Amino acid sequence: MNKTASESLRRRATDDTQWLRTRPGEQCLIRESSEDTNGLYAVLEIVSSPGDGTPLHLHANEDEHFLVVQGTARIAYGDKIFDLHAGDVASLRRGIPHAWGNRTKADLRLVILVSPGGCEEALRILAGNKDVDLRALGERFHITPLGPTPF
């Protein structure tokens, strides 16, 4: 590994100053952006408070691969609902409605690999704009909102 790549990896691994508040109850850190991977993928770390969750939605372009680091994630995927516990992984394929949430009394910590990358930019926009048009944002990133969190 060349020195520049090594320094870059070390910097990203220790720089926790860029946490984004993407909605009440959720903080996100973009660990690896699509800019860093030539668009191949992005890696996100999310901390979700008790009761937090995403609305039901689908991605037209991205697959999401979840690793639960701490806590329990409730996942809706297609017509299934299941729990993932610390150490569990799941892959959610594009084009299939899904949502996730924290239905416990403790924080949930997830690492999500999104492939290909690019939709992490929507999280930056959400964190930086309180009056964001969610439908327009979804259209821009090919993410279709389908309804509330199904739990």
90-107 per-position pLDDT tens digit: 999 999 999 999 999 999
Looking at the DSSP bridge assignments, the partners of residue 67 are 89, 111
In the predicted model, is pLDDT for residue 2 greater than 50?
A: no
Annotation: CATH topology of 16-147:
Jelly Rolls (2.60.120)
Tens of pLDDT, residue by residue over 67-77, are 999 999 999 99
DSSP for the chain, written as a single string = --HHHHHHHHHHHH-----EEEETTEEEEEEE-TTTTTTS-EEEEEEE-TT-BPPEEEESS-EEEEEEEESEEEEEETTEEEEEETT-EEEE-TTS-EEEE--SSS-EEEEEEEES--THHHHHHHHH-TT--HHHHHHHHTEEEEES---
What phi and psi values does residue 28 have, to the nearest 5 degrees?
-135, 140
Residue 77's identity, in one-letter code, is Y
Tens of pLDDT, residue by residue over 32-63, are 999 999 999 999 999 999 999 999 999 999 99
| pTM value surpassing 0.95 | no
Tens of pLDDT, residue by residue over 126-141, are 998 888 998 999 999 9
Residue 3 — very low, low, confident or very high, per pLDDT cuts 50/70/90? very low
The pLDDT of residue 129 is: 85
